[in-house]
Chain A
């Protein structure tokens, strides 16, 4: 990752007497004030309150005795590891596909972005209706072809969880593909041309040119995507609602379940449990991004 910002200060102190008269600092302060207000009022206070809500040790004891919580924690970890990595890997491959200059690939790219641009509710419900075992289009087709009842898609926790991952990937794959595509297009063409002259195969080009220049970006995107996915409420909530038998919850949807049970303290405690995992990743990312 090359730092885009030139390290030279905007105006060296010597060159500009204006810098010392306070006018710039004064304006600067005034202009960052709105964001500071937003931060203090809508981030610091709520987060502090969240900590206060989740400070009760008994809540933690209680959720660790709740099999649903443990299951949700496992689901969350699996969701992060499998869905995010699968998504990023496919995004990496597809970014190569979309980099190919063809008119029809350009048009396909336009369509491909739609899942990311349109709202979750109708599209995820569309998935849910497709998967309905009795009247959903998938099982109806299956029945017409085989005269057998199709699988009960959302009733098997493993299958339902996998489908939630599919929905999640369907929704966010376009975004990451776009980002990795931008990364690919930034690689100098000359490198590839030189490699072609040396008679390198496509695989060699990927291994020696594409991947080394994309690796940093790829890892950053993966970790970022994990943060976003951790908060993915819609994919699971709208597809399975945590069912069957509360076996497909993730941490993001567990909060709502505890609220339904009138246990706000448990809702907060369950979210706080993600902190020990998130914090090291956050610190690592901050270092990485704010070089």
Chain B
């Protein structure tokens, strides 16, 4: 009896949590599965659900969707580039600071922290200006480098936290064997740090995939922009194809969800313990 009461009490929390999470997502799905007329009727379930919206979106059959696949591809390429570059920069720095004890490491960590605290939205316009100065404006490099800048501080922080936890004996053993710094990096550091590196790479990748403001400012041509910007532009289509907007939104939300679930094991443990010291 007590067990049942306990379970019921848990369900009292669980059900609201489930509804709270699911309703907006369900509503998105609902729009995507409704014919246009039904989408604006406020039904909880469409009378005749249809996959026609997906067909229209996949076939790029709306004027605002002409470059859908191209933009999807852009989103992917940019996100991958940001993930890899962030990983490279942050891993190298974390290794140098944590294991090689490079002079000025403390200062660099503090710089990273400071950057980490500056809200990204505040840097948008100065970043635009900087990219203009470097002649990168309206190229995908502008967005990639901007996102790397935003993702790196956190990445360095997480990786350094993780690196500090590695047992010292390994390094010492390697040094006694006469290992050089690159060998130490390759044979000791990277294998042990792999889970954290996966987590950081995934984090940067998701950040870039989901970014709207920077993508909107830094990219120009229809064939260069990411899907996020295309979705924003969709809002000004005056035939209000909201059902197609939501359909595209669902498609756009699937990859990050898939990526997250794939690497979930690493994400939880590393990002969280690294983001704040425990």
Q: Do chains A and B touch in the complex (CB under 8 A)?
A: yes
Q: Is B62 an interface residue (CB 8 A)?
A: no
C-alpha gap A114/B275 in the complex (Å): 20
Cα A230 to Cα B121 in complex, Å, equals 8
Q: Please, which residues of chain A bring their CB within 8 A of the CB of B76?
A: none
A34 touches B92 (CB 8 A): yes
Residues of A within 8 A of B110 (CB): 286, 290
- Chain B window 101-116, contacts with chain A (Cβ cutoff 8 Å), 1 for yes, 0 for no: 1111110111111111
Which residue of B is nearest A33, CB measured?
B92
B149: chain A residues at CB < 8 Å are 38, 42-43
Tell me if A146 is interfacial: C-beta within 8 Å of chain B.
Answer: no
Which residues of B are found within 8 Å of A217, using beta-carbon distances?
276, 278
Task: Say yes or no: A285 contacts B117, CB within 8 Å.
Answer: yes
Task: Report the bound CA distance from A138 to B134 in whole Å.
Answer: 49
Number of A positions contacting B (CB below 8 A): 104
B276–A179 contact, CB under 8 A?
A: yes
- A256 to chain B minimum Cβ distance, whole angstroms, is 8
Q: Which of B30, B92, B119, B125 contacts A267 (CB 8 A)?
A: B125
Contact A31 B249 (CB under 8 A): no
Chain A residues closer than 8 Å to B99, beta-carbon distance: 10
Chain B: interface secondary structure? Answer: helix
On whether the beta carbons of A290 and B126 are closer than 8 Å, the reply is: no
A110 to B267, CA, bound (A): 12
B246: chain A residues within 8 A (beta carbon): 122, 125-126, 129
CB pair A274–B122 under 8 Å, yes or no, is yes
Question: Of the 9-residue stretches A44-52, A67-75, A152-160, A190-198, which lies at the interface with chain B?
Answer: A44-52
Within 8 Å of chain A (Cβ to Cβ): is B33? no
B123:A5 contact, CB within 8 angstroms = no
Assess the A4–B100 pair: CB atoms within 8 A. no
Name A179's closest neighbour in chain B (CB-CB).
B272
Contact residues of B between 111 and 169, Cβ < 8 Å to A: 111-127, 129-130, 133-134, 145-146, 148-149, 152, 156, 161, 164-165, 168
Interface residues as binary, A151-178 with B (CB distance below 8 Å gives 1, 0 otherwise): 0000000000000000000100010001
> What residues make up the interface of B, taking CB atoms closer than 8 Å to A?
10, 13-14, 17-18, 20-25, 27-28, 30-31, 40-44, 88-90, 92-93, 95-97, 99-106, 108-127, 129-130, 133-134, 145-146, 148-149, 152, 156, 161, 164-165, 168, 171-172, 175, 180-182, 206, 209-210, 212-213, 228, 231-232, 235, 242, 245-246, 248-250, 252-253, 256-257, 260-261, 264, 268-269, 272-273, 275-278
